[in-house]
Structure 1
Amino acid sequence: GGKSEQLRQYSRAEYEALIEIGGKPMVSFVVDALLNVAEIRNVVVVGPRSELNGYFDNDRVKLVENGDGIMENVLLALANMQPTERVVVATGDIPLLTPEAVRDFIDCCARFDADFYYPIVAKEENEKNYPGMRRTYVRLREGVFTGGNIFLVNPQVVKQCVEAAKGIIAYRKQPVQLCRILGFKFILQYFLGTLTLPEVAKRVSEILTLRGAVVVSTYPEVGIDVDKPSDLDLVRSRFALRA
């Protein structure tokens, strides 16, 4: 998760992932979900170690000091894992994430042969499960979707696409700016609502110089990040219902 500028009135935590829910930082709920997926053996948490040290008493969890941005943090995690298989990458500010949502995402990814897998969730799924949740949506020919915050990546190709990925990440919540990176044709198709999932996957693959796949998830929890007060209110209310 990024820095919690919009959430200062709710928490003194510098980063969104460190904001507490029920006495635990949000990132701890993400880690719990990942640890309960059989396909995931170990988890690397990239963040301020001094603030996270007391929360992860598990041999399967390793803490690594964070860098300056998302891609730098991904590289730090990979350097400390040296994996040979595909790796699940998740942001630390999606505390509603469940093991079931992660397993479903991995199962959906198995249908494609790619280096980078990105989930999207239909607007109706979000509104059915979390009415009133404000998200950034993109209209494609297949429907209206929002992006996820969990990914599956081939670690062997990450370094080659770092710079291009930074641009996409920077504008991931600004569809028009993102279309400008993808090209004029995408801007036109975006406003006409004629973009298709295969076209998006193909163009992103070209820009990142890897094989990309867009995966439709039916679990809104893969994308509900906490970066504004209304998000935090919703998440805290959901955790209160679980208690």
Structure 2
Amino acid sequence: MIDALVLAGSVNNGQLKNLSPEPYEALIKIGSIPMVLYVIRALRSNREVGRIVVVGPPGIKRELPADVIWLESGLTMMENIKKGNALMDSHYLVASSDIPLLTAGSVSGFLALCKELKDDVYFPLIPREVVEKTFPRAQRTYVTFREGVFTGGNLFLVNPQVVEQCLVIGQELVDLRKRVIALARRVGLPLLIKLLLRLLTLQEAQEKVSQMLNIKGRAIICPYPEVGMDIDKPADLEIICQAMGYDLRQSL
């Protein structure tokens, strides 16, 4: 069995605050249900998933099923990962609370792609054509590698033994994740040049990140677009509400 950690501590102080009065993004409703519960349902429906730990504010605790472990969130994502990581003994899933289209099937599919469990961190890359085929109006952040154009997903498989050493640089990389050029500068000029020329390979990027974090990282080309459909802005929420059969105005 694989345990799962759901990160639900993001304060609703970005673009979504104009749509919902909820203090935390995880509590923004789709239909009549907070978005975090859709993620939990997908994980609970998967027979490969064991314990589910949610790190979030006290207000989220009352929304959780009785068998879900709740930990109070801190000030940063890395602090929240550290809290959840303390309960883990072996490789476990990490999911953000804002991917409500996640399904039990996509969780199983991702785990199947990571089945060897020989590396420390597995991170999904979803091909642009896969996203646009299912969600043609989606506006995602894409990076071009020699192998193709990809967007990052929000479901990871991690080894708890390496998490502590990754937290500082990990936070920096998270802060830069939407700023492709700034991220490339951080990882070095040669990679920046190759990125701009669209010559950078997934293997080179994977090796550089692994070197920076002193871990073994593995990029997984993931055919499940729902893994990369996180909600950052109103347009994302509108697309996802429509995909789930809800009217955005009625949901909010």
> What band does the TM-score fall into relative to the shorter chain?
over 0.9
Bigger mean CA deviation after superposition, 62-71 or 209-218: 62-71
Which of 26, 32, 38 is residue 17 of structure 1 equivalent to? 26
Which of 194, 197, 202 is residue 192 of structure 1 equivalent to? 197
Which of 39, 42, 45 is residue 51 of structure 2 equivalent to? 42
| Aligned twin of 1:30 | 39
| Aligned twin of 2:84 | 77
Q: What is the CA RMSD across the aligned residues, in angstroms? A: 1.2
Which of 65, 69, 73 is residue 66 of structure 1 equivalent to? 73
Amino acid at match of 1:39: E
Which of 221, 232, 244 is residue 227 of structure 1 equivalent to? 232
> Once the two structures are aligned, what percentage of the paired residues are identical?
41
| CA deviation profile, 1:110-169 (whole Å, cap 9, x unmatched) | 246200010000000000011110000000000000000111000011001111111111
Note the residue ranges of structure 1 that are not aligned, 5 or more in a row: none
TM-superposed CA distance for 1:233, in Å, is 0.5
| Aligned twin of 1:147 | 152
For 1:1-243, list aligned pairs within 5 A.
2-4=10-12, 5-49=14-58, 51-59=59-67, 61-79=68-86, 81=87, 83-111=88-116, 113-240=118-245
TM-superposed CA distance for 1:74, in Å, is 0.7
- How many corresponding residue pairs? 237
**1:41 is paired with a residue of what secondary structure?**
strand
Q: TM-score, length-normalised on structure 2?
A: 0.91
Whole-angstrom distance in 2 between the partners of 1:86 and 1:236: 32
Whole-angstrom distance in 2 between the partners of 1:156 and 1:184: 30
| CA deviation profile, 1:175-205 (whole Å, cap 9, x unmatched) | 1111111111111011000011111110000
**1:118 is paired with a residue of what secondary structure?**
strand
- Alpha-carbon distance change, 171 to 202 in structure 1, aligned in 2, over 3 angstroms: same
Moved over 3 A (4+): none
Amino acid at match of 1:25: P
Query: Conserved in 2, the CA contact under 8 Å of 1:16 and 1:93?
Result: yes
Bigger mean CA deviation after superposition, 37-46 or 133-142: 37-46
Note the residue ranges of structure 2 that are not aligned, 5 or more in a row: 1-7, 247-252
Amino acid at match of 1:73: N
Amino acid at match of 2:140: R
Whole-angstrom distance in 2 between the partners of 1:95 and 1:209: 32
| CA deviation profile, 1:47-87 (whole Å, cap 9, x unmatched) | 112x213222332x1111101111111111122x2x22101
Whole-angstrom distance in 2 between the partners of 1:146 and 1:40: 25
